[in-house]
Amino acid sequence: MTEQRPTIRLRPKAEARAIRHGFPWVFADELVMDRRTRAIAPGTVAILEDAERRAMGLVAVNPNSRIVARMLDRDPQAQIDEDWFAERLTRAMQLRQKLYDTPHYRLVHAEADGLPGVVIDRFGAAAVIQPNAAWAEIRVDALARALVRVTGVETIIRNGTGRARALEGLAEETTILRGQVDGPVPVPMNGATYMADLTGGQKTGLFYDQRDNHAFAARLARGGRVLDVFSHVGGFALAALAGGAEHALAVDSSAPALDLACQGASASGFADRFQTRKGDAFAVMEALTGEGASFDLVVCDPPAFAPSRQALDSGLRAYERVARLAAPLVGRGGWLVLCSCSHAADLAQFRAACTRGIGRGGRRAQLIHTGFAGPDHPQLPQLAESGYLKALFFRLD
């Protein structure tokens, strides 16, 4: 029996064309926000109509969010149930199986995979779900059942942390939905073994988005000394060592992350070429300069300094400062890799900030490569936010 669904309607001057052409969000100022619409419970599935009352599809509604409606299905009669989730997950997994000969990847990249606000990373027989929107939070059990059906995973962790959930009015909590987690999970990638903390680590426990950039940096690091700043669990450092780097130093403010990095270095067989240094990244880079340190490859992969437009100016100044402090640590003819995961800072703005910083650091640079997130993080062309990651590879004079 088809459930009775509420209806929400676009204002007469709202841009219905963008939604028909694939833009997945509807903001509060585009909708008729009457008392009835404001009373809809967060996470409710509703029918979206244009100003002429023509049905445009099914949306997930949260009147308390800046994004009031997220497009789920163009068919207004679709049932958002376990079978619906299974169809979306099957399509997502078929793409990843084409890309990788390993069960370690991002399985669902939110809107780009037709599951708005949902991130799922797979770690072999385990998976971590981030239901970052109210509609997915309410239906996480059906999503988990479909995930088992499609992938055969035995353990599922629901990671309920992060800024996106706060914007949706959701509580922060992490729970194990099924199976068990006995400790860090080893993840083979780019010839190294990474240790992912699926219940207490950052995000889902590992950053798959940098996989291709790790590999490119590893080519540059052959036979050289590497400094990996904001290293987390050893991202660039371990890949560089697997690719033939002579030595790597990982810097991070998190002792648990550096401990996992050490475990990964040991599991990979190059603990004797790997060191860590705990501390504030800016302070450590200043200290290394004072010590006269020099590296053949320096990588800085900080957290999002500009997570919103309001933080853009301060974020760009922070990226410039990173570049200014990192540049003097690169030996002559060496390489500097600067990364940003801030969707509010576009590529041109980020590149300009990095270039200013390198110049203020007393160096000249050639930009040799620009990297993005791997293909298991597909972009929705209509949604710039889905293409958040930028990695700039410079050769310094």
Using alpha carbons, select from 289, 349, 353, 284 the residue that is nearest to residue 318.
Answer: 353
Q: What percent of the chain has pLDDT over 70?
A: 99
So what's the pLDDT on residue 207? 95
At residue 186, the pLDDT reads 97
Residue 243 has pLDDT above 80, yes or no: yes
Q: How confident is the model at residue 15 (pLDDT cuts 50, 70, 90)?
A: confident
Alpha-carbon distance of 15 to 12, in angstroms, equals 9
pTM over cut 0.85? yes
Q: Does residue 264 contact residue 194 with C-beta atoms inside 8 Å? A: yes
Chain segment 77-125, per-residue pLDDT in tens: 999 999 999 999 999 999 999 999 999 999 999 999 999 999 999 999 9
Class of residue 336 by CB neighbours under 10 A (exposed 0-12, middle 13-18, buried 19+): buried
pLDDT for 3 beyond 70: no
The amino acid that residue 214 corresponds to is H
**160-198: per-residue pLDDT in tens?**
988 888 889 899 999 999 999 999 999 999 999 999 999
Residue 214's pLDDT band, with cuts at 50, 70 and 90, is very high
Residue 202's pLDDT band, with cuts at 50, 70 and 90, is confident
Q: What is the pLDDT of residue 224?
A: 98
Total residues belonging to the chain: 397
Examine the pLDDT at 4 and tell me if it is beyond 90.
Answer: no
Whole-number mean pLDDT of the chain?
95
Q: 64-81: buried (b, 16+ CB within 10 Å) or exposed (e) per residue?
A: ebebbbbbbbeebeeebe
CATH 3.40.50.150 maps onto the chain at 186-396
Q: Which residues are marked as active site? A: 341
Measured between alpha carbons, how far is 176 from 24 in angstroms, rounded to an integer?
Answer: 30
pLDDT tens digits, one per residue of 347-391:
999 999 999 999 999 999 999 999 999 999 999 999 988 889 999
Sign of the torsion angle spanned by Cα atoms 140, 141, 146, 148 = positive
Can you name the CATH fold of 82-178?
Transcription Regulator spoIIAA (3.30.750)
Q: Within the chain, which residue ranges are assigned CATH 3.30.750.80?
A: 82-178
Question: Which CATH class name applies to 186-396?
Answer: alpha beta
Q: Please, where in the chain does CATH 2.30.130.10 lie?
A: 7-73
User: Quick check: helix, strand or coil at residue 80?
Assistant: coil
The arithmetic mean of pLDDT across residues 117-145, rounded, is 97
- Residue 174, φ and ψ in degrees, nearest 5: -120, 130
| Predicted pLDDT at 8 | 97
Strand partners, 365: 396
Predicted confidence at residue 13, as pLDDT, reads 81
Instruction: Assign domain 7-73 one CATH number from 1.20.140.10, 2.30.130.10, 2.60.40.1220, 2.30.110.10.
Output: 2.30.130.10
Determine the average pLDDT of the residues in 228-237.
97
More confident residue, 300 or 66: 300
